[in-house]
Chains A and B, each alone.
Chain A
Amino acid sequence: MTALANPSPVVHEEIEGGGRTCQDKAAEHNEAVEDPIDAWEIFEIIRRIRDPEHPNTLEQLKVVEPSLITVDFSNGRKYVKVMFTPTVPLHCSLTALIGLSISLKLQRSLPQYTKIDVYVTPGTHDQEEQVNKQLNDKERVAAALENKNLLSVVESCMYDYEENC
């Protein structure tokens, strides 16, 4: 790529207070403790995904926010919906890449058989409809993730900012 899609993104402070310590995380992995999944927990999973073209996290760029996450783990349902806000309202492929990183990270982190919907925040992208359609076509996503180069790009976004708890 010769030029950046967004040469100077606004970097925000990480959200404080709601953050959890390593001990809290360990408790969550304790099967004996009943702990329904909430929006904050979903946010914890995706907040440190790296932007494909900047050394910042999706949280720092306000691409993901807890208030734009919906969960329903009641009555046997397993449903998560994440809306993400692209940093610039252009560049389909980068936006799709961010969406794919969010989607794959959730798939790998959440309980089996969770339904995951990832959408662009309404009104924040010129090609919102196309991006949403592509991200939610599981056949095209499956085909894309069989491409080793693309998968390694997505995975590098997903895991660069992993904490070493």
Chain B
Amino acid sequence: MSKLSLEHTLQGHKGRIWGVSWHPKGNAFASCGEDKTIRIWSLSGNTWTTKTILSDGHKRTIREISWSPCGQYLTSASFDGTTAIWSKTSGEFECIATLEGHENEVKSVSWSHSGSLLATCSRDKSVWIWELAGDDEFDCAAVLNSHTQDVKRVVWHPKKEILASASYDNTIKMYAENAADNDWYSTATLESHTSTVWSIDFDADGERLVSCSDDKTLKIWRAYPPGNEEGIFTPDNETVWKCVCTISGEHSRVIYDVSWCKKTGLIATACGDDAIRIFKEDANSQKNEPTFSMITSEDKAHLQDVNAVKWNPSQEGQLISCSDDGTIKLWKFIE
């Protein structure tokens, strides 16, 4: 019997905690919430403590934070319409740049694998791509208006410069840069969810994507590039993403976040029914029709909606979660 064992319960923020993000080394993480602050936590001995509080960057709720792959920069997306870049190069974290341009709430921020590109998305329906131009300089490389509604999440491919976005319009979109004219454009629209797509995550290779939705389902999508052996038609010579698996009946309310562990392949979900669930691909799963089973459900993981779950990128089986109940919890997955 596998289970999630609770290792630590942390408090510090006032009110709802929207996001948590592991430092790439896995020995520190950041959290953010409606109290407009970012807390950076690290382990000393056997205790996680707040090392730094960043409180003067945003005027409204901080929805999501994200570390650069090098671990030197932290970015924060806020309802105040801006994205702040924090740097630790001088020893202390300081805000080195504020990205402006979105018309209203910024919902998500994500770094590309190389650390040279940043993406943000907003309730204004747009996705912006920013290029790191100098030490503290960011240039807007693209404004993408493919979605017809509020964009909830942006996530970069783990190995390529491919961006995925999830929206209130029920779809997921993929973007790439056109080599000929350096213009970013939408290469694919993933349609299958029947309500808001709250979150997405790639698997380790980036050949598959998992998505979670207000429709209470989880979906697995597979990339079929031009010339694929299955003979899936690829119009315009673009990679096609097909929904190859739908997991329904396991979540009783909206699923706010999903995390696909790059080390173990386990999928964790954060649900509005206060539970955290873990899914594993079945041993006899087929490439084009994979099957996944729920192997653990921590029904009362939190006292209120779970807003985010993130697998530790270096410590196998360690999971972090945060909730409307104002707590952050660290879990150990035991097979």
**Contacts A133-B196, A137-B168, A137-B196; A142 near B34 (Cβ below 8 A):** yes
Residues of A within 8 Å of B34, CB to CB, are 142
Question: Are B305 and A133 within 8 A (Cβ)?
Answer: no
CB of A139 within 8 Å of the partner chain: yes
**Contacts A113-B303, A115-B253, A137-B168; A143 near B196 (Cβ below 8 A):** no
Residues of A within 8 Å of B123, CB to CB, are 140, 143
**Contacts A139-B107, A146-B61; A113 near B79 (Cβ below 8 A):** no
Question: Are A142 and B61 within 8 A (Cβ)?
Answer: yes
Encode contact with A along B299-334: 1 for CB under 8 Å, 0 otherwise: 000011100000000000000000001000000000
Name the distance in Å between B76's Cβ and chain A's nearest Cβ: 16
18-34 of chain B: CB within 8 A of chain A: 34
Closest to B274 in A: A113
Residues of B within 8 Å of A115, CB to CB, are 253, 272
Closest to A114 in B: B304
Residues of B within 8 Å of A108, CB to CB, are none
The distance in angstroms between the C-alpha atoms of A143 and B79, with both chains bound, is 7
CB < 8 Å neighbour of A143 from B61, B152, B253, B254: B61
Residues of A within 8 Å of B254, CB to CB, are 136
Residues of B within 8 Å of A29, CB to CB, are none
CB < 8 Å neighbour of A142 from B16, B104, B214: B16
Question: Are B60 and A146 within 8 A (Cβ)?
Answer: yes
**Contacts A113-B303, A113-B325; A139 near B63 (Cβ below 8 A):** yes
Q: Is the interface of B mostly helix, strand, loop or mixed?
A: loop
The distance in angstroms between the C-alpha atoms of A74 and B304, with both chains bound, is 17
Question: Are B305 and A138 within 8 A (Cβ)?
Answer: yes
Indicate the member of A136, A138, A142, A146 with the most B CB atoms within 10 Å.
Answer: A142
Residues of B within 8 Å of A143, CB to CB, are 61, 79, 104-105, 123
The distance in angstroms between the C-alpha atoms of A138 and B305, with both chains bound, is 10
255-312 of chain B: CB within 8 A of chain A: 272, 303-305
Name the distance in Å between B140's Cβ and chain A's nearest Cβ: 23
The distance in angstroms between the C-alpha atoms of A143 and B63, with both chains bound, is 10
The distance in angstroms between the C-alpha atoms of A142 and B196, with both chains bound, is 16
Encode contact with A along B124-151: 1 for CB under 8 Å, 0 otherwise: 0000000000000000000000000010
Question: Are A140 and B60 within 8 A (Cβ)?
Answer: no
The distance in angstroms between the C-alpha atoms of A112 and B325, with both chains bound, is 9
Question: Are A113 and B61 within 8 A (Cβ)?
Answer: no
Name the distance in Å between A136's Cβ and chain B's nearest Cβ: 8
Residues of A within 8 Å of B253, CB to CB, are 115
The distance in angstroms between the C-alpha atoms of A38 and B304, with both chains bound, is 21
Residues of A within 8 Å of B196, CB to CB, are 133, 137
Question: Are B195 and A146 within 8 A (Cβ)?
Answer: no
The distance in angstroms between the C-alpha atoms of A37 and B150, with both chains bound, is 36
A113-B304, A113-B325, A137-B168 are known; give 7 further A-B pairs, CB within 8 A. A113-B303, A115-B253, A137-B214, A139-B107, A142-B61, A146-B61, A146-B79
Interface residues, chain A, with chain B CB atoms under 8 Å away: 112-113, 115, 133, 136-140, 142-143, 146
Q: Rank and list the top 3 A-B pairs by shortest CB-CB distance, nearest first.
A: A113-B304, A113-B303, A143-B105
Can you list 18 residue pairs at the A/B interface with Cβ under 8 Å? A113-B303, A115-B253, A115-B272, A133-B168, A133-B196, A133-B214, A136-B214, A139-B63, A140-B123, A140-B150, A142-B16, A142-B34, A142-B79, A143-B61, A143-B79, A143-B105, A143-B123, A146-B60
